[in-house]
Amino acid sequence: MFISNTCKENSNTMNSEKLSTEYLICTNCQKVLRKIVQANSVDGHTDLLFLEEYSTTGHLDNATQVMGLHPQYLESFLRTQYYILRMDGPLPFEHRHYLAIMAAARHQCSYLINTHVNEFLQVGGDGEWLNGLEHIPQKLKNLNEINKILAHRPWLITKEHIKKLLKTGENSWSLAELVHAMVLLAHYHALASFVFGSGIYPEIDQDSSQSFRAPAISNFCGCSVTNQNNKEDVLFMNSSPGTSDSVSELENLMERMKRLQEEKEEEEEASQEEMATRFEKEKKESLLVATGAFEDEVIPTSYISRYVEDPSFGYKDFARRGVDHLPTFRAQDYSWEDHGFSLVNRLYSDIGHLLDEKFRMVRNLTYNTMAIHEDVDTTTLRRAIWHYVHCMFGIRYDDYDYGEVNQLLERSLKVYIKTVTCYPERTTKRMYDSYWRQFKHSEKIHVNFLLMEARMQAELLYALRAITHYMT
């Protein structure tokens, strides 16, 4: 049962009404909750999820509204986020929200920073900490390096980083605390990718979580969602309808998917050497994707920079050439299913099950549609997107043919994927509009789910592998 902050404040005069088996809401909140349902008449499942989120947090944010286009995923996402933020766990509640601020600041995501500044204060956090990192306890400050590396170059995390955090005297971390912190940091790095990729902007009432602003989500093409860094008064979700070129683009993609499936059924499986060669080719080609677009450094505002050390540290292509080149992360040596899941679940009880459900949910989520076409198997396309993200982070799966990536993901989509995943704060409306022009916006939001979850899993794989090396 969840009771909102508003309800708690009115508990002395609470005239409760059971709205469902999961809600016990005070009379003052019931009117607001009914407004949510009326403004978001998507379907019954989504309505209940929105009600639950409002009753838990006291407001309904824009990210949740956009995710509501896919209620199955939203339910899994909210369950996981609720667990890492609000359920019993190794970390104090104020530390959780401050870590969310630190994670979001790496990508200059004021939307998430503002949300968790409010949450931090609501759970009794020390307002002095909000003046910057120099005002926080040394134990939290010690996570700066891990936060920075995990956000931008997770392949650099080693057992030495883990050892340093666990062996720092009175400011040392326990393994359970560290795993909780890493899950939380990875969650908010990835969520920043979703926020920028979907063009989500801060709520008008973000400084006052008790007020309610009716969302414009019933007609998503008119959704009041826009990129924080895009100063034009243009909505991400107001793209022009499909042209003959975009129709041709869609038909060509479907033809490539069909041909790929037919070839897989007829051809013999490629050798391991050939599969490795295709991976290396795709990894090196990712170097050429929009390299010129990311040369100029984006300087954080003073408000954000107080939560950031070494702001110039950012993503560098895993496949870069040089003496510091690192070996590929081979999934058969350390995978989520066989290694990461059991370790994280052992050190931070039950989170492994929630994460695993979320990863599986987004990878298997399908409505068997592509734009105006129905009864389409989109498995190969979803798989190509997931593996392309992991490829950019240097993770290779022996049983996946990376030739599929080049056949299914055109350059404009690769540019979008790389930007949202690696440099989310630089995402633009033009990038969003440039790929899959005839597809529904809900389908592009589905792509953003894949990018968010693939990124989070990649970060966790490197972090958990380092912990495993430390423990052994």
Indicate the pLDDT class of residue 24, thresholds 50, 70 and 90: very low
d(CA 109, CA 168): 30
pLDDT higher than threshold 60 for residue 392: yes
d(CA 177, CA 165): 11
Indicate the pLDDT class of residue 141, thresholds 50, 70 and 90: very high
Indicate the pLDDT class of residue 220, thresholds 50, 70 and 90: very low
Q: Which residue among the candidates 7, 26, 29, 109 is catalytic per the annotation?
A: 109
Indicate the pLDDT class of residue 268, thresholds 50, 70 and 90: low
**Residue type, position 190, single letter:** A
Question: Quick one: CA torsion of 66, 71, 75, 76, rounded to 10 degrees?
Answer: -90
d(CA 369, CA 219): 19
Grouping H, G, I as helix, E, B as strand and the rest as coil, residue 464 is helix
The contacts of residue 413 (CB under 8 Å, 6+ apart) are 435, 436
Query: CB pairs under 8 A, 24+ apart, for 358-361?
Result: 358/73, 358/76, 358/77, 358/80, 358/453, 359/453, 359/457, 361/72, 361/73, 361/76
Mean pLDDT of the chain: 82
Query: CB pairs under 8 A, 24+ apart, for 164-167?
Result: 166/470
Looking at the domain covering 69-198, what would its CATH class be? mainly alpha
pTM score, whole prediction: 0.84
What six digits make up the tokens of 89? Answer: 């766990």
d(CA 206, CA 61): 8
The contacts of residue 323 (CB under 8 Å, 6+ apart) are none
Model confidence over 158-170: pLDDT tens digits?
A: 999 999 999 878 9
Q: What is the pLDDT of residue 208?
A: 38
Q: Give the residue extent of every domain in the chain.
A: 69-198, 250-291+310-462
34 phi, psi to nearest 5 deg: -65, -35
What six digits make up the tokens of 48? Answer: 């209940």
Average pLDDT over residues 80-104: 97
Terminal Cα-to-Cα distance of the chain (whole angstroms): 41
The contacts of residue 462 (CB under 8 Å, 6+ apart) are 150, 154, 155, 157, 329, 393
**Residue type, position 56, single letter:** T
pLDDT higher than threshold 50 for residue 423: yes
396: enclosing H helix or E strand: strand 395-396
CA-wise closest residue to 75 among 51, 40, 58: 51
**109 tagged catalytic:** yes
